[in-house]
Chain A
Amino acid sequence: MHIDVYGSTLCALVTAGTLASTGHQVTLRVPEGDVAGQLERNECPFREPGLPELLSEQRAAKRLKVGRLVDAPATPVSTVFLALELDDVELAHDIVARLADLKRQFWLLVNQSSFPVGTTDKLQQTLGDVGAVVSLPDLLQEGVAVQSFMRPPQLLLGSNDPYAESLVREILRPVSRLRDQFLVMTPKQAEFSKFAVMGMLATRVSFMNDMASLADALEVDIEPVRQAVGADPRIGQAYLYPGCGFGGPSLSRNVMDLASTLASSGVGSELLDQVLRINERQKEVMFRKLWRHYHTRLEGKVVAIWGAAFKPGTGRIDNAPVLRLLEALWAQEVTVRVHDPQALPVLHQHYGTRDDLVLCEDAYDAARDADALILVTEWKQYWNPDLVRLKTLMRAPVLLDGRNIYDPQFVRRHGFAYYGVGR
């Protein structure tokens, strides 16, 4: 089939690449900007495992082309995926209105963007009766996005039109082979389901963080508690890790949007408000421990940070805990030395050049002369550091483990002061 994919989001690129890899003829239409430039230079804008290879293979095979968002689709194209940024609702309506003016037998529009609940129905109104707009919410997990698109645990499809539904099933047939992965419902239900999934995940994380604060106060190690809770089959292990807050464009933005959608519709969600509040507080948990360790006097200290990306496997820092942490440290006149395998360029882009931010290409270099080391993102390479070397490099051996990945006893035996989340 000939398919156009609109957008410059990770979802847009993964969708375009994957659809091409299953034999579709795909044109990826990106708005002008950084992503467009990078694609033009054959670079991959996201540091997402498997994505660069996927895109370059498909482009080499001529199944994937990159085009301009403003140009009209070629004649054989009557299927369009919309994977735009959260704020681009207006743009989506523009695109749909332009498509509606082009003559086709039947337009199939698949909306993957995380727009407010109800947007797909509104897009249908814009399109009119020349086709159908369905909702296929993006449930990609960054870091395993390509894999999760190829082998989705389930596919939420919101469609009011049986013919449109059959078309989507046909397009995605290669990724839905083992069993029927489709959960079909109305577009509004599908959109809301995505928000609810995000809300639930965030709630689990914040719940665990709340338990961790309590564990701190009671001087209990949260780690065995987490394992015990996760071992209960009614609960399960996923999203139970206490840490210094969740971030990312998807989880936190979606939960925030959900909370504000509920608030503006007059319902309000006290639970989600609290979930977000706990998360914001949690982003500073390592700062608070450092503050107390140094008896409120942090001026002039040097702090090393390992990991800035909002999670391992990505180079993005949207809503990442490191941002709050950096600002808190800078406000106390602390110099911060940061290492991250992928996020340093974005960090530099975000804050520019400043004296109190040193970006280090080498993790151990970041720890040089530091009064404390804070682990923020649990990249695999940080899991077994050379503690002896660290101790000689650092001015004071203080290790703050924002993800509870180290064994406190082991670290302490090496002469470090150790602080975890809830331990």
Chain B
Amino acid sequence: MIWDNLQQHADTLRGRHLADLFADDPLRFHSLHRQVGPLLFDFSKQRLTTETLALLAEFADARDLRGWIDRLFAGEKVNGTENRAAMHWALRARAEGHIPEPVAGLFGEVADQLQRMERIVNKLHAGQWRGVTGEVITDVVNIGVGGSDLGPLMVSRALEDYQVSTAQPLNLHFVSSMDGSQLSHLLRMLRPQNTLFIISSKSFTTVDTLYNANTARSWLRDALGRDPAVVDCHFLGVSASDTKMAEWGIHEDNRLRFWEWVGGRFSVWSAIGLPVALSIGMGAFRDFLAGGHFMDTHFRNAAWLDNVPVLMALTGLWNTNLLGISAQAILPYDARLKYLPSYLEQLEMESNGKSVTRDGEPVDYSTSPVIWGEVGPNAQHAFYQLLHQGTQVVTCDFIVPAMRYHETDRAQVTGTLSGQHELALANCLAQSRLLALGEAALPQREQMPFYKRYKGNQPSSTLMLDELTPFGLGALLAAYEHKVFTQAVLWQINPFDQWGVELGKKIALETLSLIHSREDSDDISEQMLATRSAALRDSMDGSTVGLLDFIKQQRRGF
């Protein structure tokens, strides 16, 4: 019933150009933007009206959004397929905060790990974390992949202006790729005596990460010997599995824990955020958590139509399911947010790239759109051509801080740099305007040849922060997390599992055995292995067999 109303409403709006919507209602911005804390959400360039919002809010009620939010914050097992709660919000809640503790002792456990983290951070900042030779650690390498990489990488880059100065220079590096190319490049530049590795993996079984970790360990042992103290002094572990960290050899004092109820893509708020804290200090890291907590509280309490994450979700639903738009671009106009598009790609597509409802039924509607992005000004030189004149309808999120470079301590260059920020802001506003209005954005509408025309009507939202602060970024990321959760509720899917990434890992291991094996060995066991491999090979498809054969051919030469 509600859905029918929405569809009828969509039919009436579908033919309307954004330029007309603005012409009809010059005050659209007033009714179609919200400001909460450091964040302004402008969705007046979306192809909807206040009437649309009312209908969408009804739909949210019909999907029991209130009930689901309550269940999320009550620590109920909202992740059905893995039979777990999803309490990433608890990582940023505090005992004295605004959200009641769902399980006694939960906030205490979180606080304990933060405390451990603080001890490690302080020791490294003081220049008192020692390698096995007694030299001071000056380089920290985070080895992780997915959430254990993107989260800390994105946030530490975004908050690089907040880097603390330490007793000795402390450099951070990130390694994720399983092929070892990042690591081998890095190891050539680092001194083993001064290097500390953080091995970050929720399960501590992630193949990509463990291969890199093993390479790092061999590198250290080659240089510093096989004394167990080498691993004790040069490795930290962050994981939900204490046992697995112990098995790998991480010293008890060097293990930081988080919990099964934290999904990898929601884990930057936990000890996985250690590189962030190393970069900006625990004080600023806690501000980042406070920003997240601020948004949690807003999300729990605000009415749907004042609720920024809910409005983001409803807008998304409207675009995907009622206007049929299946692509979304993330366009930060601030290069510090360079990795935000990748981060949100994972957050949205790994969460909501599902086609089965919570009850196990196939869905008959679209879920997560394809999401991609790039720093806006750079993307202007890449895919904006398609946005402006292509045949795809794409909705965009423009993300930008209003202020930057007003610190007084860098007086000399601040002037020209703030000029650069103004230029970026101007581009951000101009592009979203042109995308929305098309030629109507021009003062006088001249008759243009076809190839110079701009059709416009590409909808977008603008998320403007007052400044890119730890608190503001925390609030922004938590808003996206809750948007994703809200959309999952609307789509009746589970956003917290990721079964779609499991099988590929498994069959890669089989395939690896085929690439590894040597048929021409004299060794009996190797020969038996080879026989098994042959059977495995024959069970594969023709393309894979062809590719495997090519690899073998290439190797024979060596």
Check: A284 CB closer than 8 A to any chain B CB. yes
The secondary structure that dominates the A interface is: helix
Check: B163 CB closer than 8 A to any chain A CB. no
**Assuming the A-B contacts A295-B229, A296-B233, are A331 and B126 also in contact, with contact meaning beta carbons closer than 8 angstroms in the complex?**
yes
Judging by beta carbons under 8 Å apart, are B130 and A291 in contact?
yes
Residue of B134, B227, B232 near A287 (CB, 8 A) is B134
Judging by beta carbons under 8 Å apart, are A296 and B135 in contact?
no
CB distance from B13 to the nearest CB of A (A): 62
Judging by beta carbons under 8 Å apart, are A328 and B128 in contact?
yes
Q: Which of A290, A292, A296, A327 has most B Cβ within 10 Å? A: A296
Check: A288 CB closer than 8 A to any chain B CB. yes
What CA separation (Å) do A260 and B229 show in the bound complex? 39
CB distance from B196 to the nearest CB of A (A): 13
Judging by beta carbons under 8 Å apart, are B126 and A296 in contact?
no
Residue of B128, B227, B233 near A327 (CB, 8 A) is B128
Judging by beta carbons under 8 Å apart, are B134 and A284 in contact?
yes
**Assuming the A-B contacts A287-B134, A288-B135, A331-B123, are A296 and B128 also in contact, with contact meaning beta carbons closer than 8 angstroms in the complex?**
no
Within 8 A of B (CB), among A275-311: 284, 287-292, 295-296
CB distance from B131 to the nearest CB of A (A): 9
Judging by beta carbons under 8 Å apart, are A288 and B134 in contact?
yes
Judging by beta carbons under 8 Å apart, are B132 and A296 in contact?
yes
Check: B133 CB closer than 8 A to any chain A CB. yes
Interface residues as binary, B102-145 with A (CB distance below 8 Å gives 1, 0 otherwise): 00000000000000000000010010101011111000000000
Q: Which of chain B's residues have a CB closer than 8 A to the CB of A284?
A: 134, 136
Judging by beta carbons under 8 Å apart, are B232 and A296 in contact?
yes
Judging by beta carbons under 8 Å apart, are B128 and A288 in contact?
no
What CA separation (Å) do A79 and B225 show in the bound complex? 67
What CA separation (Å) do A289 and B134 show in the bound complex? 8
Within 8 A of B (CB), among A107-145: none
Q: Which of chain A's residues have a CB closer than 8 A to the CB of B136?
A: 284
User: In chain B, what residue has the closest Cβ to A281?
Assistant: B135
Judging by beta carbons under 8 Å apart, are A292 and B134 in contact?
yes
CB distance from B141 to the nearest CB of A (A): 20
Q: Which of chain B's residues have a CB closer than 8 A to the CB of A331?
A: 123, 126, 128
What CA separation (Å) do A331 and B132 show in the bound complex? 15
What CA separation (Å) do A107 and B85 show in the bound complex? 83
Q: Which of chain A's residues have a CB closer than 8 A to the CB of B232?
A: 296
Q: Which of chain B's residues have a CB closer than 8 A to the CB of A288?
A: 133-135
Q: Which of chain A's residues have a CB closer than 8 A to the CB of B126?
A: 327, 331
What CA separation (Å) do A388 and B232 show in the bound complex? 37
What CA separation (Å) do A331 and B128 show in the bound complex? 6
CB distance from B116 to the nearest CB of A (A): 16
What CA separation (Å) do A291 and B229 show in the bound complex? 11
User: In chain A, what residue has the closest Cβ to B193?
Assistant: A288
User: In chain A, what residue has the closest Cβ to B126?
Assistant: A331
What CA separation (Å) do A296 and B231 show in the bound complex? 12
CB distance from B128 to the nearest CB of A (A): 3
Interface residues as binary, B9-37 with A (CB distance below 8 Å gives 1, 0 otherwise): 00000000000000000000000000000
What CA separation (Å) do A284 and B130 show in the bound complex? 11
Q: Which of chain B's residues have a CB closer than 8 A to the CB of A292?
A: 133-134
Q: Which of chain A's residues have a CB closer than 8 A to the CB of B128?
A: 327-328, 331-332
Interface residues as binary, B230-246 with A (CB distance below 8 Å gives 1, 0 otherwise): 00110000000000000
Judging by beta carbons under 8 Å apart, are A291 and B134 in contact?
yes
Q: Which of chain B's residues have a CB closer than 8 A to the CB of A289?
A: 134
Interface residues as binary, B62-104 with A (CB distance below 8 Å gives 1, 0 otherwise): 0000000000000000000000000000000000000000000
Q: Which of chain B's residues have a CB closer than 8 A to the CB of A291?
A: 130, 133-134
User: In chain A, what residue has the closest Cβ to B128?
Assistant: A331
Q: Which of chain A's residues have a CB closer than 8 A to the CB of B134?
A: 284, 287-292, 296
Within 8 A of B (CB), among A315-347: 327-328, 331-332
What CA separation (Å) do A96 and B522 show in the bound complex? 93
User: In chain A, what residue has the closest Cβ to B130?
Assistant: A291
Q: Which of chain B's residues have a CB closer than 8 A to the CB of A327?
A: 126, 128
CB distance from B301 to the nearest CB of A (A): 45
Q: Which of chain A's residues have a CB closer than 8 A to the CB of B233?
A: 296
CB distance from B119 to the nearest CB of A (A): 11
Within 8 A of A (CB), among B145-197: none
Q: Which of chain A's residues have a CB closer than 8 A to the CB of B130?
A: 291, 296, 332
What CA separation (Å) do A291 and B131 show in the bound complex? 10
What CA separation (Å) do A295 and B130 show in the bound complex? 12
User: In chain A, what residue has the closest Cβ to B253?
Assistant: A299
Q: Which of B123, B130, B136, B232 has most A Cβ within 10 Å? A: B130
Q: Which of B126, B134, B229 has most A Cβ within 10 Å? A: B134
CB distance from A131 to the nearest CB of B (A): 37
What CA separation (Å) do A328 and B126 show in the bound complex? 9
Q: Which of chain B's residues have a CB closer than 8 A to the CB of A328?
A: 128
CB distance from B226 to the nearest CB of A (A): 13
What CA separation (Å) do A289 and B133 show in the bound complex? 8
**Assuming the A-B contacts A288-B133, A291-B134, A327-B128, are A296 and B229 also in contact, with contact meaning beta carbons closer than 8 angstroms in the complex?**
yes
What CA separation (Å) do A331 and B168 show in the bound complex? 15
Interface residues as binary, B256-294 with A (CB distance below 8 Å gives 1, 0 otherwise): 000000000000000000000000000000000000000
CB distance from A356 to the nearest CB of B (A): 14
What CA separation (Å) do A287 and B128 show in the bound complex? 11
CB distance from A331 to the nearest CB of B (A): 3
Q: Which of chain A's residues have a CB closer than 8 A to the CB of B132?
A: 296
Within 8 A of B (CB), among A41-65: none
Q: Which of chain A's residues have a CB closer than 8 A to the CB of B133?
A: 288, 291-292
User: In chain B, what residue has the closest Cβ to A295?
Assistant: B229
User: In chain A, what residue has the closest Cβ to B129?
Assistant: A331
What CA separation (Å) do A290 and B130 show in the bound complex? 12
CB distance from B165 to the nearest CB of A (A): 15
What CA separation (Å) do A295 and B133 show in the bound complex? 9
Q: Which of chain A's residues have a CB closer than 8 A to the CB of B135?
A: 288
User: In chain A, what residue has the closest Cβ to B233?
Assistant: A296
User: In chain B, what residue has the closest Cβ to A280?
Assistant: B168
What CA separation (Å) do A87 and B518 show in the bound complex? 73
CB distance from B122 to the nearest CB of A (A): 9
User: In chain B, what residue has the closest Cβ to A330?
Assistant: B128
CB distance from A370 to the nearest CB of B (A): 19
Chain B residues at the A interface, C-beta cutoff of 8 Å: 123, 126, 128, 130, 132-136, 227, 229, 232-233
Write 7 A-B pairs (CB below 8 A) sorted by A numbering.
A288-B133, A288-B135, A290-B134, A295-B227, A296-B130, A327-B126, A332-B130
Known: A331-B123, A332-B128. 19 other contacts (CB 8 A): A287-B134, A288-B133, A288-B134, A291-B130, A291-B133, A291-B134, A292-B133, A292-B134, A295-B227, A295-B229, A296-B130, A296-B132, A296-B134, A296-B229, A296-B233, A327-B126, A328-B128, A331-B126, A332-B130
| 10 A-B pairs closest in CB distance | A288-B134, A331-B128, A291-B134, A296-B229, A296-B233, A295-B229, A296-B132, A292-B134, A287-B134, A291-B130
